[in-house]
């Protein structure tokens, strides 16, 4: 009995010692982690002028690199655009780790804006050469080609595909030229971009044009627990605010989000996600019909391309926004507007493989290259030339 009790005491003492040692080690790890800077996502964005000198948005305004959109203004919203005739750099940290081969040795990509305020070639002017066909591409930063060289964006890839048979076809990139949501794309077509004499119009939509979002994605509850050690473990296990609860109706809840609550949470904002332009207000639907009617009156094919959020993609991942894709497809069908949904094209690729950087989830060259053939086939089906 004494031997049994002794063994029991030794086991308890060993377990207690192991527990204390583990807690002590965790405490030390937590202390060390708290002395370190809060981890930042790789590939953070900044800007540089044509000479390579760092510049802020405010400095860009002061120096005339960023200017107000000329009147008439889209829906009386304040809008800015890159000034015509300017060149600058998008600069990303950590390229020694990320090794994005489309960035230069300093982790930069040049952006050149032509005299019409577009990220386009100088030879694309309102004076269209005889016999040339033009596809006008409307949209936001995914159309602009944010974070990548212009020749690697889907707009230029579309042109290459359409010209493969020898036809004189040019695409015109009107992305992110002072228009940021669907009614503004339509407004820009009427008042600014029609001068390029389109023979077809492709309007691209990203889901953040339609519902309130956290920039280019929708974030769930933060995984931060307040303990850096536990956060590190959860991060290693793949827990992320981008992994949304599959049992929650994200689309339904975001469509129903009141203006006041959404603005307080930063999900609506006049600069990029105006409440009055969202799908819940019926404005994108109306704008697409008006754009189609404008094109029909000129016998110009009009079509819509829908980009998914670049989250929840990849094998065995849950994509929580299918309902919104279905709403767009159904509405376009009712309006006789051809619509291409890129989600099936991108669904098999892990979302992180499609980002410019982890800190900038715009569509990278891989995403653009995956999308371009489908867009080219889609455009061919809408045209007879």
The answer as to whether 372 is a domain residue is yes
How far is it, in rounded angstroms, from Cα 12 to Cα 131? Answer: 89
Where do we find the tokens 């094998």? Answer: 315
The answer as to whether 21 is a domain residue is no
The answer as to whether 81 is a domain residue is no
Tens digit of pLDDT for each residue in 76-93?
A: 888 999 999 999 999 999
For 201, 225, 234, 264, the CA distances from 237, given in Å and listed in that order, are 45, 14, 5, 32
Segments of the chain scoring below 70 in pLDDT: 1-4, 8-39, 222-239
Comparing C-alpha atoms, which of 86, 91, 93, 87 is closest to residue 108?
91
The answer as to whether 321 is a domain residue is yes
Number of separate domains in the chain:
1
Q: Whole-prediction pTM value?
A: 0.88
Q: Which domain covers residue 170, as residue numbers?
A: 131-217+247-382
For residue 72, say if its preceding peptide bond is cis, omega within 30 degrees of 0: yes
Cα angle, residue 243 at apex, residues 237 and 244 outer, rounded to 5°: 140
Residue 54 DSSP code = B
The answer as to whether 46 is a domain residue is no
What is the predicted pLDDT for the residue at 237?
44
The answer as to whether 156 is a domain residue is yes
For 10, 205, 269, 270, 338, the CA distances from 266, given in Å and listed in that order, are 58, 21, 7, 10, 33
The DSSP annotation for 124-187 comes to --SSPPTT-EEEEEE-SHHHHTTTS-GGGSHHHHHHHHHTTTS--EEEEE-TTSS--SHHHHHH
The answer as to whether 47 is a domain residue is no
The answer as to whether 37 is a domain residue is no
Rg (Cα) of the chain, in Å, rounded? 25
What is the distance, to the nearest Å, from the Cα of residue 56 to the centroid of all Cα atoms in its chain?
21
Phi, psi at 215, each rounded to 5° = 75, -115
Tens digit of pLDDT for each residue in 217-241?
A: 999 875 555 544 444 444 544 557 8
Domain of 360, CATH number, reads 3.40.50.1110
């Amino acid at each position: 009995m004494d031997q049994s009790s002794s063994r029991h005491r030794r086991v308890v003492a060993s377990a207690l010692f192991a527990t204390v040692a583990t807690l002590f080690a965790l405490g030390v790890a937590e202390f060390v982690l708290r002395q370190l800077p809060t981890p930042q996502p790789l590939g953070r964005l900044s800007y540089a002028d044509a000479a390579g000198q760092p510049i802020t948005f405010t400095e860009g305004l002061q120096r005339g690199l960023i200017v107000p959109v000329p009147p008439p203004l889209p829906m009386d919203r304040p809008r800015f655009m890159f000034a015509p005739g300017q060149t600058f750099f998008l600069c990303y940290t950590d390229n020694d780790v990320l090794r994005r081969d489309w960035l230069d040795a300093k982790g930069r990509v040049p952006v050149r804006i032509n005299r019409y305020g577009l990220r386009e070639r100088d030879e694309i002017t309102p004076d269209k050469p005889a016999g040339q066909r033009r596809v006008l591409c409307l949209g936001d930063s995914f159309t602009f080609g944010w974070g990548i060289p212009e020749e690697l964006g889907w707009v230029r890839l579309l042109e290459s595909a359409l010209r493969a048979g020898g036809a004189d076809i040019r695409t015109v990139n009107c992305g992110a030229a002072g228009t940021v949501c669907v009614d503004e794309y339509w407004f820009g077509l009427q008042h600014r971009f029609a001068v390029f004499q389109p023979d077809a119009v492709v309007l691209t939509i990203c889901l953040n044009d339609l519902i309130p979002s956290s920039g280019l994605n929708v974030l769930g509850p933060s995984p931060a627990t307040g303990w850096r050690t536990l956060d590190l473990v959860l991060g290693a296990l793949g827990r992320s605010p981008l992994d949304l609860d599959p049992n929650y109706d994200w689309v339904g809840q975001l469509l129903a989000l009141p203006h006041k609550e959404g603005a307080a949470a930063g999900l609506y904002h006049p600069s990029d996600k105006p409440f009055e332009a969202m799908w819940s207000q019926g404005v994108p639907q109306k704008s697409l019909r008006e754009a189609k009617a404008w094109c029909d009156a000129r016998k110009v094919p009009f079509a819509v391309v829908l980009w998914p959020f670049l989250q929840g993609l990849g094998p065995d991942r849950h994509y929580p926004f299918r309902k919104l894709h279905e709403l767009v497809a159904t509405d376009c069908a009712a309006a006789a507007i051809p619509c291409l949904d890129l989600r099936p094209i991108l669904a098999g690729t892990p979302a992180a493989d499609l980002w410019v950087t982890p800190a900038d989830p715009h569509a990278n060259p891989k995403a653009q290259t995956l999308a371009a053939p489908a867009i080219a086939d889609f455009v061919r089906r809408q045209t007879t030339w």
